[in-house]
Each structure stands twice: as C-alpha cells, then as structure tokens.
Amino acid sequence: MERLLIATTNKGKLEEISALLNTLHCELVTPDDLHLEIEVEENGKTYLENARLKAATYCQASQLPALADDTGLEVAALGGQPGLYSARFTGSHNASDHERRQFLLSKLKNYPRPWEARFVCAVALALPSGKFYSYEDACTGEIIPEERGSQGFGYDPIFLFSQLGRTMAELSLNEKNRISHRAKAVLGILPVFRNL
C-alpha cells in the first residue's frame, strides 16, 4: 500500500491518527490533500457502522484505502448519552466544543457524582477491492464539572482519567496516544496493515 486516506476533516483526529500511524511505510493523505468535499450521513446504529460508512464513502471517492473512525462519549448517569450523537448532542452541528461540554454539564448537574463515563472509538479500513477491516475499543474515566487542560479537543477538558488524576486535555499527544480510546482502536487495527 503506497497511500492511505485518513477519512476525516477533524484536525484533532487527523493529528492523533497520523501520529499513531507514523510507523507505516506509506504516504498518509487527507481529504483536503485530494480536494475531496464529502458529507457522509452518519445514520448507522453503532460506532462500527458509522466508521464503515465513512471509510467506504471516502474509499469509493478516492479509489484509495481509507481509514475512518467514529467516536462517542457515553455517560452512565445519562444512560450512555450522548453516545453516537456526541458531536450533535446540543441539537446543532454548528455548536462549538465548549458549547457541547457546557450542554453536557448542564444535563449532569442534578445527578450525583462521580459521573462515570467512557470514550468509545471504532475504526474501519475500506479497501478498493471491497474488503473491510475494523476494530473497536474504549477507555474509562469520569466527567468533571470544570474544564482543565488546553490539549486535545471535544470533551477532552472534562474527561478525567481517574487513575492519573488528569483530564484528557492535560495530556500531551504522546501520552494521550498511549491510553486513549482512539489510540487503542487504531493500534488494534494496525496489524492488518502489515498483512496487506
């Protein structure tokens, strides 16, 4: 495999995934590199279905192997919400990360702490031959009521790794890429690349 399309326009995801795949001997390209402007309707019922949908769409459009992910934050007190709708939890695609975090905290304020949570990430690799490979993993922690840290994106500033006493946003990229949900999922699918 000479080139691999990282099928996301999310700059934070691109940075994390690119760093995790730096041992591959292929050129990593982005939708921007290929001038692809694709909106994928994420209507799957699972993270894996959504990741596969994105990977297939980008693979078909580019005729390159495409790796996509779908990620969600599941909060136990909210019955697993926001889950599949983590990016759209406020009801708007245009909400900022800060607005999404504040909306989540407003939903949790009447529940007793700790607010146990987990991040789930599914990755899917679509090949032009029609073959698919996928992997899913998670990391656990809790939601805290105040934002801490300046790294990362999304819900990172309020997601605390209890065993570390630090939020995801307080970790360097290297630290995050050793323990995060996305790191576990991408590293889980990595052996597939060695056999292509």
Based on the number of CB atoms within 10 Å of its own CB, is 80 exposed (0-12), middle (13-18) or buried (19 or more)?
middle
CA 153/CA 160 separation, integer angstroms: 14
Amino acid at 142: E
Consecutive H or E run containing 11: helix 11-20
Amino acid at 183: A
Consecutive H or E run containing 185: helix 181-194
**Which alpha helices (DSSP H) does 64-112 contain, by range?**
97-108
Catalytically annotated residue among 32, 33, 70, 156: 70
DSSP code, position 112: P
CA 73/CA 120 separation, integer angstroms: 6
137 tagged catalytic: no
What pairing do the DSSP bridges indicate for beta strands 159-161 and 132-143? antiparallel
The residues annotated with a catalytic role in the active site are: 70
